Amino acid sequence: MSAPLKLGAVVITMGNRPAELQDLLDSVAKQQGPEVEVAVVGNGSPLPALPDGVRTAELPENLGIPGGRNAGIELFGPAASDVDVVLFLDDDGLLPGEDTAELVRAAFAADPQLGIISFRIADPDTGVTQRRHVPRLRAADPLRNSRVTTFLGGACAVRSEVIRQVGPLPAEFFYAHEETDLAWRALDAGWMIDYRSDLVLHHPATSPARHAVYHRMVARNRVWLARRNLPWLLVPVYPGVWFALTLLRRPSGPALRAWLGGFREGWATPCGERRPMKWRTVWRLTRLGRPPII
């Protein structure tokens, strides 16, 4: 019998939620099976007192969500070489089940093609899963498991081999859509992604628009996604579809101005290395229910 997979959890924090962070770490420590290693990154902020054995890094500046998580990955050795699977967990989240780690190990051990698992996020008070937290177009039933084409960045598990093969999260994105960039690269390399409703992270229901940079970075990063990952024929189509959808949603004047500024920025600024996916990956995304034009 092979040894159980080694898990490492990466948590980034701005230092403003020490009580919630401690609750999360306590829930990780209660997981059944072998101990889950933990790495906590202070993303431009000092860290509070942490339990013994936690790997830590205090970054001198805020590198954004993907940059902070990449720093956490490296706390487990180059490209997380010390562990088999990396969990990314929001610092104000909580694992309510004590069997989550064992379920993650079992899922990866049973499916060698499985590269990423997206957890279900549920409000701790109501149990409700917001529609935006189900990473597929048909999101009405959050309890239905399925293959998907992206994942939730603060509630997921990524096989370390995926990171070694396709690279880490795109740090230049700073915030928004960095998960889809990694997901597309993983799918292009032959990996699969699962949404698992039985793997739950409790997290208060929120609006992504609470972040001041939300509208600008969402627009910019959608353009960057296309420029970095899609065949040239589809590069204008993906941002074009989202441009139309944004107008149909009739955002407020300030939101629309921020969105348009980000859209222009996406075309005018460097987006990092371009690695267009194969056309067979485009077809695979389509068969999975989300062609890379929406």
Tens of pLDDT, residue by residue over 28-53, are 999 999 999 999 999 999 999 999 99
Q: Average pLDDT for residues 71-96, to the nearest whole number?
A: 98
Residue 33 gets the label, from left (phi > 0), alpha (psi -120 to 50) or beta, of: left
Res 210 pLDDT > 80: no
Q: Which residue has the higher pLDDT, 2 or 12?
A: 12
Q: Average pLDDT for residues 281-286, to the nearest whole number?
A: 98
The pair of structure tokens assigned to 157 is: 């598990």
Q: Average pLDDT for residues 260-282, to the nearest whole number?
A: 97
Res 284 pLDDT > 70: yes
* DSSP string for residues in 215-227: HHHHHHHHHHHHH
Cα atoms in the Cβ-side hemisphere of radius 13 Å centred on 31: 26
* pLDDT at position 212: 57
In angstroms, the Cα distances linking 29 to 87, 189, 254, 260, 287 are 13, 33, 44, 44, 39
215 Cβ contact partners less than 8 Å away, ≥ 6 residues apart: 209, 251, 255, 256, 258, 259, 262
Answer for the pair 59, 44: CB distance below 8 angstroms, yes or no. yes
Q: Average pLDDT for residues 156-166, to the nearest whole number?
A: 98
Res 209 pLDDT > 80: no
Res 159 pLDDT > 60: yes
Res 70 pLDDT > 90: yes
In angstroms, the Cα distances linking 273 to 73, 139, 159, 189 are 20, 32, 22, 16
- pLDDT grade for 99, boundaries at 50, 70 and 90: very high
Answer yes or no: pTM beyond 0.75: yes
* pLDDT at position 206: 78
Lowest average pLDDT, out of 135-139, 266-270, 279-283, goes to 135-139
* pLDDT at position 127: 94
In angstroms, the CA 253 to CA 276 distance is: 34
In angstroms, the CA 148 to CA 192 distance is: 8
The pair of structure tokens assigned to 82 is: 């010390």
* pLDDT at position 1: 64
User: Average model confidence (pLDDT) for the chain?
Assistant: 96
Tens digit of each residue's pLDDT (9 = 90 or more) over 113-131: 999 999 999 999 999 999 9
- pLDDT grade for 205, boundaries at 50, 70 and 90: confident
In angstroms, the CA 90 to CA 119 distance is: 12
Res 63 pLDDT > 90: yes
Please provide the distance, in angstroms rounded to a whole number, between the alpha carbons at the two ends of the chain.
43
* Cα 123 off chain centre by: 18
Q: Average pLDDT for residues 226-238, to the nearest whole number?
A: 98
Count of Cβ atoms closer than 10 Å to residue 19 Cβ:
9
Answer for the pair 129, 174: CB distance below 8 angstroms, yes or no. no
In three-state secondary structure terms, 53 is coil
- pLDDT grade for 213, boundaries at 50, 70 and 90: confident
- pLDDT grade for 282, boundaries at 50, 70 and 90: very high
Token pair 């292009």: residue: 188
